[in-house]
Amino acid sequence: MFSYSRNFWALTFAMFLFMTSFNLILPELNDFISHLGGRDYKGLIISLFTISAAISRPFSGKLADTVGRKSTMYIGTIICVVVTFMYPLSGSVGFFLFLRFMHGFSSGFLPTGATALITDILPPDRRGQGMGVFGTGISLGIGVGQFLGTPLTKLLTLDGLFFAAGILAMISVLMVKSIKETLAEPTPFEWKMFRLKKDEFFEIKVLPVAMVMFLTASCSGILFVLSPDLSGYLGIENKGWFFMFYVISTIAVRLTIGKLSDKIGRRKSLIIGMVFLIISMLMVAYAKDVYAYTAASIVFGIATGVNSPTLFAWMADLSPSHRRGIGSGTLFISLELGILFGSASTLFIYDSTYESVFLVFIYGAILAFLAMSYLIWHLVRR
């Protein structure tokens, strides 16, 4: 087993805390905006977050490659702390949606810097395995946050939930402080760094990875929007039920077959992952009770456990060493745009009825099939 450094574990724990923080509040935001009178704006909860995250990626990628990975992470964690503590002040739909937009900038900076840093410290022949372990912290944060959101709301009230999420974000700042910078020669920050050249918006060499990430993230965007409502339709009190079983499944996969893409190649591994993703979308579409819904979440976890670390390892393979921040930013832009596309698409299909859920997830299965088809073409033709 590859021996991971203290830097690796500190960064993994920082990402776990960060992901737990903003996922903790996510299951309750549909009800929160409905209480404010914005029932028709549920899709914007995810959409606005992902728009601002995508906007910030080229800037965070450039800063990670110039000012440093660690400084870029600081920006993300501080934004997360400030915005999370401001949620209880939301008295209108407009102000709440403004906070969601601002919250997205935290996701635009921290993961970009973290991914560039983790790529620096992982050897090329163990990237798939290392990304799997690193991703376990991220998945655990998603699952723990989603699962605990509803119980903590009942115990602490919604304002207390926001406060707890803010505390977790503050601890993640402390963890980032303990991490050692890996950029060889960081340069002092200057405002002119926010002026981007044409080749600083994205890394063209990682576009094949970005294409697959976009399509798979679209499926995740659908689930982020619909899983709280779907839990209610099936009589499941905990709105984060789907993501709890998803995280158990994806962690098991990451820890047991994390070396898969290191052995058989990135594209072959991703094709396997896409098969599981298609199956999971179809299983959610046909789920009529808690058992079928739980089984679907487990299969979705298997798909994510294979796909996510492989995509990031493939990105690291293709990115030039001096542009890893921009390469990471490019992949995250496709992630955000995919989530945005998936969540926004639900607004045209989902009409807040259980009957319309079926069509949304059939649509998700088609997106996953397109990703698999592209990978097969890329493997054969390239």
Q: CB 336: neighbour CB atoms within 10 A? A: 26
Q: What confidence score (pLDDT) does residue 258 get?
A: 66
Burial class (CB in 10 A: 0-12, 13-18, 19+), 78: middle
CA 377 to each of CA 274, 338, 374: distance values in angstroms, whole numbers, following the listed order: 14, 21, 5
Name the pLDDT band for 91 (thresholds 50, 70, 90): confident
Judged against a pLDDT cut of 50, whether residue 163 lies above it is answered with: yes
Sign for the pseudo-dihedral over CA of 74, 75, 81, 84: negative
- Average pLDDT value for residue range 142-157: 86
d(CA 111, CA 128): 18
Judged against a pLDDT cut of 70, whether residue 2 lies above it is answered with: no
d(CA 90, CA 152): 19
Reported as a single tens digit per residue, the pLDDT across 9-46 is 999 999 999 999 988 988 888 888 888 888 778 778 87
Q: CB 37: neighbour CB atoms within 10 A? A: 10
Reported as a single tens digit per residue, the pLDDT across 170-204 is 999 999 999 888 887 888 877 777 777 776 677 78
Task: Give 129's contacts (C-beta < 8 A, 6+ positions apart).
Answer: 2, 258, 259, 262, 309
- Average pLDDT value for residue range 94-112: 90
Return the DSSP state at 288.
Answer: -
Reported as a single tens digit per residue, the pLDDT across 327-340 is 877 888 888 889 88
Q: In this structure, which amino acid lies at residue 204?
A: I
Torsional class of 180: left (φ above 0), alpha (ψ -120 to 50), beta (otherwise): beta
Sign for the pseudo-dihedral over CA of 280, 47, 344, 352: positive
Return the domain boundaries, the chain. Answer: 6-182+200-381
Tell which wins on pLDDT, 276 or 355: 276
Q: CB 370: neighbour CB atoms within 10 A? A: 16
- Average pLDDT value for residue range 358-368: 92
Name the pLDDT band for 1 (thresholds 50, 70, 90): very low
Tell which wins on pLDDT, 251 or 3: 251
Q: In this structure, which amino acid lies at residue 225?
A: V
Q: Are 58 and 194 in contact (CB under 8 A)?
A: no
Sign for the pseudo-dihedral over CA of 156, 147, 167, 343: negative
The HSE-up count of residue 104 (CA atoms within 13 Å, CB side) is 26
CA 254 to each of CA 65, 140, 220, 249, 301: distance values in angstroms, whole numbers, following the listed order: 28, 11, 18, 9, 10
- Average pLDDT value for residue range 41-56: 82
Q: In this structure, which amino acid lies at residue 308?
A: S
Which range (78-92, 268-282, 300-314, 338-352) has the least confidence?
338-352
Q: Are 205 and 320 in contact (CB under 8 A)?
A: yes
- What integer best gives the mean pLDDT of the chain? 86
d(CA 209, CA 331): 7
d(CA 35, CA 18): 26
Q: What confidence score (pLDDT) does residue 374 get?
A: 94
Question: What is the value of pTM for the model shown?
Answer: 0.75
Reported as a single tens digit per residue, the pLDDT across 218-246 is 998 888 888 878 888 888 877 778 877 88
CATH superfamily, with its number, for domain 6-182+200-381:
MFS general substrate transporter like domains (1.20.1250.20)
Percent of the chain residues past pLDDT 90, beyond the cut: 30
Q: What confidence score (pLDDT) does residue 16 get?
A: 93
Tokens of 104: 């997205």
d(CA 292, CA 25): 26
d(CA 243, CA 224): 9
Q: What confidence score (pLDDT) does residue 100 get?
A: 92
Q: What confidence score (pLDDT) does residue 371 get?
A: 95
Q: What confidence score (pLDDT) does residue 277 get?
A: 96
d(CA 29, CA 165): 13
